Amino acid sequence: MAKTLRMDSLAIAITKELSEYTEEVQKEVEEIAKDVAEKSATKLVENSPDRTGGYKKGWTVRKVKDGYEVYNKTKPHLTHLLEKGHAKINGGRTDPIPHIAPVEEEAVAEFNKRMEEAISK
Protein backbone atom coordinates (compact mmCIF):
# COMPACT_ATOMS: atom_id res chain seq x y z
CA MET A 1 0.00 0.00 0.00
CA ALA A 2 1.42 3.36 -1.00
CA LYS A 3 1.92 6.15 1.50
CA THR A 4 0.27 9.49 0.95
CA LEU A 5 2.62 12.39 1.56
CA ARG A 6 2.23 16.10 1.42
CA MET A 7 4.74 17.92 -0.73
CA ASP A 8 6.54 19.51 2.24
CA SER A 9 7.04 16.14 3.90
CA LEU A 10 8.31 14.50 0.70
CA ALA A 11 11.82 15.89 1.20
CA ILE A 12 11.86 14.62 4.78
CA ALA A 13 10.74 11.16 3.67
CA ILE A 14 13.37 10.99 0.93
CA THR A 15 16.09 12.13 3.33
CA LYS A 16 15.05 9.48 5.86
CA GLU A 17 15.12 6.69 3.26
CA LEU A 18 18.51 7.80 1.93
CA SER A 19 19.87 7.96 5.47
CA GLU A 20 18.78 4.38 6.18
CA TYR A 21 20.24 3.20 2.86
CA THR A 22 23.51 4.99 3.57
CA GLU A 23 23.83 3.35 7.00
CA GLU A 24 23.20 -0.09 5.52
CA VAL A 25 25.81 0.48 2.81
CA GLN A 26 28.34 1.77 5.37
CA LYS A 27 27.92 -1.37 7.47
CA GLU A 28 28.31 -3.52 4.39
CA VAL A 29 31.44 -1.62 3.32
CA GLU A 30 32.93 -2.09 6.78
CA GLU A 31 32.30 -5.85 6.69
CA ILE A 32 33.66 -6.21 3.16
CA ALA A 33 36.80 -4.19 3.95
CA LYS A 34 37.53 -6.21 7.08
CA ASP A 35 36.99 -9.53 5.30
CA VAL A 36 39.17 -8.59 2.31
CA ALA A 37 41.93 -7.30 4.62
CA GLU A 38 41.92 -10.49 6.68
CA LYS A 39 42.06 -12.66 3.55
CA SER A 40 44.94 -10.55 2.22
CA ALA A 41 46.90 -10.96 5.45
CA THR A 42 46.39 -14.72 5.27
CA LYS A 43 47.60 -14.81 1.65
CA LEU A 44 50.66 -12.75 2.58
CA VAL A 45 51.51 -15.21 5.35
CA GLU A 46 51.30 -18.01 2.78
CA ASN A 47 53.27 -16.22 0.03
CA SER A 48 55.95 -14.29 1.93
CA PRO A 49 59.62 -15.29 1.87
CA ASP A 50 60.53 -17.56 4.76
CA ARG A 51 64.15 -17.27 5.78
CA THR A 52 63.70 -17.17 9.56
CA GLY A 53 59.90 -17.22 9.82
CA GLY A 54 59.54 -13.95 11.73
CA TYR A 55 58.70 -11.84 8.69
CA LYS A 56 56.24 -14.34 7.31
CA LYS A 57 54.31 -14.70 10.56
CA GLY A 58 54.13 -10.94 11.12
CA TRP A 59 51.29 -10.10 8.70
CA THR A 60 48.23 -8.80 10.48
CA VAL A 61 45.33 -6.35 10.11
CA ARG A 62 44.55 -3.23 12.09
CA LYS A 63 41.68 -0.78 11.96
CA VAL A 64 42.65 2.71 10.86
CA LYS A 65 40.66 5.89 10.36
CA ASP A 66 39.58 5.13 6.79
CA GLY A 67 39.19 1.35 7.03
CA TYR A 68 41.64 -1.47 7.57
CA GLU A 69 45.36 -1.78 6.99
CA VAL A 70 47.38 -4.93 6.35
CA TYR A 71 50.90 -4.56 7.70
CA ASN A 72 53.84 -6.55 8.98
CA LYS A 73 53.94 -6.26 12.74
CA THR A 74 57.23 -8.07 13.40
CA LYS A 75 59.53 -6.77 10.65
CA PRO A 76 57.91 -3.84 8.82
CA HIS A 77 61.26 -2.52 7.60
CA LEU A 78 61.70 -5.56 5.35
CA THR A 79 58.56 -5.13 3.26
CA HIS A 80 60.03 -2.62 0.78
CA LEU A 81 63.47 -4.22 0.75
CA LEU A 82 62.10 -7.64 -0.14
CA GLU A 83 59.43 -6.40 -2.55
CA LYS A 84 61.73 -4.09 -4.54
CA GLY A 85 65.20 -5.51 -3.91
CA HIS A 86 68.08 -3.57 -2.36
CA ALA A 87 71.80 -2.84 -2.65
CA LYS A 88 74.23 -5.33 -1.17
CA ILE A 89 77.08 -4.28 1.11
CA ASN A 90 79.80 -5.36 -1.34
CA GLY A 91 78.05 -4.06 -4.43
CA GLY A 92 75.31 -5.37 -6.62
CA ARG A 93 71.64 -5.75 -5.84
CA THR A 94 69.42 -8.46 -4.49
CA ASP A 95 66.62 -9.80 -6.64
CA PRO A 96 63.20 -8.46 -5.73
CA ILE A 97 60.64 -10.91 -4.33
CA PRO A 98 57.27 -9.47 -5.36
CA HIS A 99 54.85 -10.94 -2.84
CA ILE A 100 52.85 -7.88 -1.72
CA ALA A 101 51.81 -6.37 -5.08
CA PRO A 102 50.01 -9.48 -6.40
CA VAL A 103 48.02 -9.81 -3.18
CA GLU A 104 47.20 -6.09 -3.25
CA GLU A 105 45.93 -6.28 -6.84
CA GLU A 106 43.77 -9.28 -6.00
CA ALA A 107 42.39 -7.56 -2.88
CA VAL A 108 41.49 -4.39 -4.80
CA ALA A 109 39.70 -6.42 -7.48
CA GLU A 110 37.77 -8.46 -4.90
CA PHE A 111 36.86 -5.34 -2.89
CA ASN A 112 35.58 -3.54 -5.99
CA LYS A 113 33.57 -6.56 -7.14
CA ARG A 114 31.96 -7.04 -3.73
CA MET A 115 31.24 -3.31 -3.41
CA GLU A 116 29.42 -3.28 -6.74
CA GLU A 117 27.33 -6.24 -5.61
CA ALA A 118 26.54 -4.59 -2.26
CA ILE A 119 25.51 -1.27 -3.80
CA SER A 120 23.36 -2.87 -6.49
CA LYS A 121 21.21 -4.75 -3.93
16 found inside a domain: no
Residue 23: which pLDDT band, with cuts at 50, 70 and 90? confident
94 found inside a domain: yes
Is pLDDT above 60 for 77? Answer: yes
Cα(60)–Cα(51) distance, integer angstroms: 19
102 found inside a domain: yes
Is pLDDT above 80 for 107? Answer: yes
32 or 25: which carries more pLDDT confidence? 32
Three-state secondary-structure class, residue 22: helix
Residues 6+ apart with CB under 8 A from 5: 13
Residues 6+ apart with CB under 8 A from 84: 96
49 found inside a domain: yes
Is pLDDT above 70 for 96? Answer: yes
22 found inside a domain: no
4 found inside a domain: no
Domain that holds residue 70: 32-119
Is pLDDT above 60 for 1? Answer: no
Output the CA–CA distances (angstroms, integers) from residue 100 to 10, 35, 96, 112, 117, in the order listed: 50, 17, 11, 18, 26
Whether this model's pTM surpasses 0.75: yes
21 found inside a domain: no
- Total number of domains in the chain: 1
Helix intervals (H) in 1-99:
7-47, 54-57, 78-84
44 found inside a domain: yes
78 or 118: which carries more pLDDT confidence? 78
Cα(78)–Cα(54) distance, integer angstroms: 11
Rounded mean pLDDT, 53-79: 93
